[in-house]
Structure 1
Amino acid sequence: MSPNPRVRLRRACVAALAASVLLSPVVAGSAYAAGAPARSAPAAPSPTPVPPTDGNTAFPQLTPAVAARLDAAVRRIMAETGTPGVIVGLWAPGKGSYVKAFGVADKATGAPMKTDLNMRIGSETKTFTVTALLELVDRGKVALDDPIGKYVSGVPNGDRITLRELAGMRSGLFNYSEDADFTKALESGSGRTFTPRQLLDYSFKHPVRFAPGAKFEYSNTNLILLGLLIEKVTGRPLHEVIQKDVLEPAGLHHTVFPTGAEFPAPHAHGYTDDTASGKTVDSTGWNPSWGWAAGAMISDLEDLHSWARTLATGTLLTPATQAERLKTTPAGLPGAGYGLGIFDVQGWIGHNGSLPGYQSLTVYLPEAQATLVVLLNTDTSYKGKEPSASFGEAITQIVTPDHVYPGHKAPAPKSH
């Protein structure tokens, strides 16, 4: 935990899986400001055909009866966790869909949560940044086993840490968002803009934690380095690369990489807790620049529905590169592994995200060609568990009892 009691570490994790560690600022950020226009970029690789499956008989028909069970489960988790509002999307070919919003998007006005609202997605940003990296691999611009020191100077063990180890969370570099001085700087004003180099400085003053490749340990520092590499190799700002090389080829029209605190309308208000006062505060306008390539992006349900399949099946990458992406390292939970900016938990492939006021979960189950997206406007944990994980678990217990997120198989019914 952070040594500063006023700022709490956020863990957007797969239950006990140590995924996205992000910190919560405690003061409001700046108002909306439009980003710069994007420039043109080389075309992305041609999409890879998606292999057919042998059906999805294990996935239930999303009948009114099943929808009623899902309604009850979502409302139960909302009540338990104190979640103001949540959007849930569940789709499976031939089985139907379940798309609903619950609760409120704005506690002050009582405006209802709606399925078309924009939301901050935290560490799901990593899936876009690593996709941009892997596109460079496919174009022969970089290689996964290149050392990061070839592209970015001053990195501890930079001559040994590979791009593969950065994307797979096996670098050994200290996570800048756990540094006490970073916490104090973040606390000084949530409207502050952090540069990538400033973020790295918070990390690099700490000794490396282990030899490159020795084990899995989640660190936002890894993604800051990959963002800088992408900018150096392409000669373009990271937000432009993501827009032109990832979002546009993927057909995502409501996903953005903000350059400041801008938050396109319509959006839900986000709520986080201030550990100093014990009060819940509105974090909607807080500047996410401290997350940058690791956690700054915004999206909506429609785009994330599409992105889940694109990400899991690799339609922006060559089959060989996608195969490398999906090679996972055990990540601290039975049935859970982390690949290159992506996880596989009991067959569900994707990522989650958390930053002050918002959490997200976007996963795809190839066996059933099923997609699950959960978006909520709080990041406050309940009994040590992230609310997004609680929603994911409750929903998958109903529809995929053999593939329960975050990795616990549902107990068999007791005999009477």
Structure 2
Amino acid sequence: MRNSFSRRRRVRAGIAALGIFAAPLGAGTAVATEPPGPALFTTSSASAPAPAPSAETDFPELTPAVAAELDKAIQGVMKDAGVPGVIVGLSAPGKGQYLRSFGEADTAIGVPMSPGLYMRIGSETKTFTVTAVLELVDDGKIGLDDPISDYIAGVPNGDKITLRNLASMRSGLFNYTGDEGFYKALTSDPDRPFTPQQLLDYSFKHPVEFQPGAEFQYSNTNTILLGLVVEKVAGMPLHEYIQENVVEPAGLRHTAFPTDAAFPRPHAHGYTDQTASGEIEDATDWNPSWGWAAGAMTSNLQDMRSWAKTVATGTLLTPETQAERLKVYPTSTSGDGYGLGIFNIQGWIGHNGSLPGYQSLTIYLPESEATLVVLLNTDVTKDGIAPSTRFGKAITGIVTPDHVYDIPAPPPQQPSPGNS
């Protein structure tokens, strides 16, 4: 794995070597590139046989046999999809926990992936931005059915598009990351900063694609607008509001909203083919300002495992507002749906994330109180399927065969970063 990625990537000037995380998350972590042994995970009954789920709400004990099956499946996805490194955390009350890291965090010098590394979480930022919006709803400062024109001027169809339309990806606004000019600007100078207004300008030069509420279409433009609403109503920068009102109350100590390319250490290097040349390059230090409210945040496994339950159960919101969040609109014939900055895929509630060099998946299954977090250091797809989706499908296919996480490959289109 190291050789194939090292040959093809272009090393960016000024990239420092990745430090090695010395303090483990706790019992059950693994820092290895080879399959870890049974002692590296915990279960409620390590000697018990590996039972298969027999009912929809059953979740198996994470015994050595189940762990070995998961190891094999995860390493199979890594090989098939060409993933340099991945971190996986899976747990459920009374069933034990499975914490693993495989592969490399820096392919140039062979640093192994570790469970404690910081990662960019891409579009999982949306769960934080929408939580901030919903907190303002609970405070009585805004309403979900307010038109965006009440807060932001110049939005196409702004008098018809509501905050609910934006949060549920049903506004009809063009996704700025699909604009050719944006794509060229980012890939020609990945270090450049973008302002929220510049991002909106890429979107607003395109006509609306449908009337508000008529369809579902994932668009980062929606969340940029919601971030601006938070700033206007709260009277403070979005990153400060999220830190003070979402991150800290949720007890997250390793989650941040950077305003530049800053990236807490130690972190994994990320590899992407979303480049001007089409070759795989190291995107670790690319400026994530182009994602802003839709995708700029960083975190680690420990925090995302906690956040999975917080966001899915609505710890920071009133029950009434959380119920609004979880009202999903169908996105496919399989019954999957997207609510307010959150999805429900076969019972798993949460979000995924992708931006150049990184992908993530953080989901929660209420029936079993199960949590799954996957963090990886590439966004390179194969056959149009995101590697985070491949991992999610492989893992849930083993532990929750009645609730298999899967997002089908989209129709072929010109590649653009940050679509998941």
TM-score of the pair, normalised by structure 2: 0.83
Amino acid at match of 1:130: V
Post-superposition shift, 1:276? 5.3
Name the CA distance, whole Å, in 1 between partners of 2:327 and 2:293: 22
> CA 1:275–1:142 in 2, change beyond 3 Å: closer, same or farther?
closer
Post-superposition shift, 1:334? 0.9
Post-superposition shift, 1:27? 9.6
Post-superposition shift, 1:250? 0.2
Asked if the contact 1:29/1:189 (under 8 Å) is kept, the reply is no
> CA 1:27–1:339 in 2, change beyond 3 Å: closer, same or farther?
farther
1:356 aligned to 2:356? yes
User: Can you list the C-alpha shifts for 1:356-380, whole angstroms capped at 9, x where unaligned?
Assistant: 0100000000000000000000000
Q: 1:372 maps to what in 2? A: 372
Amino acid at match of 1:350: G
Asked if the contact 1:28/1:286 (under 8 Å) is kept, the reply is no
Name the CA distance, whole Å, in 2 between partners of 1:29 and 1:298: 22
Q: Secondary structure at the match of 1:250?
A: coil
> CA 1:28–1:161 in 2, change beyond 3 Å: closer, same or farther?
farther
Post-superposition shift, 1:184? 2.0
Gaps of 5+ in 1: 1-25, 33-54, 409-416
> CA 1:29–1:141 in 2, change beyond 3 Å: closer, same or farther?
farther
Q: Secondary structure at the match of 2:281?
A: strand
Name the CA distance, whole Å, in 1 between partners of 2:129 and 2:345: 21
Post-superposition shift, 1:273? 1.6
User: Can you list the C-alpha shifts for 1:231-282, whole angstroms capped at 9, x where unaligned?
Assistant: 0001100000010000000000000000000000010000112565453211
> CA 1:57–1:226 in 2, change beyond 3 Å: closer, same or farther?
closer
Q: Runs of at least 4 residues of structure 1 off by over 2 A?
A: 26-32, 274-279
Name the CA distance, whole Å, in 2 between partners of 1:29 and 1:241: 34
Name the CA distance, whole Å, in 2 between partners of 1:93 and 1:124: 24
Amino acid at match of 1:303: D
1:79-94 matches, cutoff 5 A: 79-94=79-94
Q: 1:382 maps to what in 2? A: 382
1:192 aligned to 2:186? no
1:201 aligned to 2:221? no
Out of 256-265 and 398-407, give the one that drifted further: 398-407
Q: Secondary structure at the match of 1:104?
A: strand
Q: Secondary structure at the match of 1:402?
A: coil
User: Can you list the C-alpha shifts for 1:373-401, whole angstroms capped at 9, x where unaligned?
Assistant: 00000000012211000000000010000
Q: 2:128 maps to what in 1? A: 128
Asked if the contact 1:360/1:388 (under 8 Å) is kept, the reply is yes
Percent identity of paired positions between Structure 1 and Structure 2 = 69
Amino acid at match of 1:166: L
Tell me how many residue pairs correspond in the alignment: 361
Q: Secondary structure at the match of 1:344?
A: strand
Q: 2:347 maps to what in 1? A: 347
Asked if the contact 2:359/2:378 (under 8 Å) is kept, the reply is yes
Q: 1:245 maps to what in 2? A: 245
Q: 2:73 maps to what in 1? A: 73
Name the CA distance, whole Å, in 2 between partners of 1:251 and 1:230: 21
Name the CA distance, whole Å, in 1 between partners of 2:185 and 2:71: 42
Name the CA distance, whole Å, in 2 between partners of 1:221 and 1:261: 21
Q: 2:147 maps to what in 1? A: 147
Gaps of 5+ in 2: 1-9, 17-54, 409-420
Q: Secondary structure at the match of 1:364?
A: strand
Name the CA distance, whole Å, in 2 between partners of 1:29 and 1:180: 26
1:308 aligned to 2:308? yes
Post-superposition shift, 1:335? 2.6
Q: 1:175 maps to what in 2? A: 175
Asked if the contact 2:188/2:276 (under 8 Å) is kept, the reply is no
Amino acid at match of 2:226: L
Q: 2:279 maps to what in 1? A: 279
Asked if the contact 2:199/2:221 (under 8 Å) is kept, the reply is yes
Question: Alignment RMSD, CA only?
Answer: 1.8
Post-superposition shift, 1:182? 1.2
Amino acid at match of 2:153: S
Amino acid at match of 1:365: L
Q: Secondary structure at the match of 2:208?
A: coil
Amino acid at match of 1:283: A
Amino acid at match of 1:174: F
User: Can you list the C-alpha shifts for 1:145-199, whole angstroms capped at 9, x where unaligned?
Assistant: 0000000011111111000000000001111111111122212311100000011
Name the CA distance, whole Å, in 1 between partners of 2:90 and 2:218: 28
Post-superposition shift, 1:347? 0.1
User: Can you list the C-alpha shifts for 1:313-339, whole angstroms capped at 9, x where unaligned?
Assistant: 000000000000000111135131000
Q: 2:107 maps to what in 1? A: 107
Name the CA distance, whole Å, in 2 between partners of 1:201 and 1:109: 41
Asked if the contact 1:120/1:296 (under 8 Å) is kept, the reply is yes
Looking at both structures, which has the greater relative contact order when contacts are Cα pairs under 8 Å and sequence separation is at least 6?
Answer: 1
Name the CA distance, whole Å, in 2 between partners of 1:403 and 1:31: 41
Q: Secondary structure at the match of 1:229?
A: helix
Asked if the contact 1:348/1:405 (under 8 Å) is kept, the reply is yes
> CA 1:297–1:367 in 2, change beyond 3 Å: closer, same or farther?
same
1:324 aligned to 2:324? yes
User: Can you list the C-alpha shifts for 1:390-414, whole angstroms capped at 9, x where unaligned?
Assistant: 0000000100000001179xxxxxx
TM-score of the pair, normalised by structure 1: 0.84
Name the CA distance, whole Å, in 2 between partners of 1:351 and 1:269: 22
Asked if the contact 2:301/2:373 (under 8 Å) is kept, the reply is yes
Name the CA distance, whole Å, in 1 between partners of 2:386 and 2:273: 13
Asked if the contact 1:83/1:378 (under 8 Å) is kept, the reply is yes
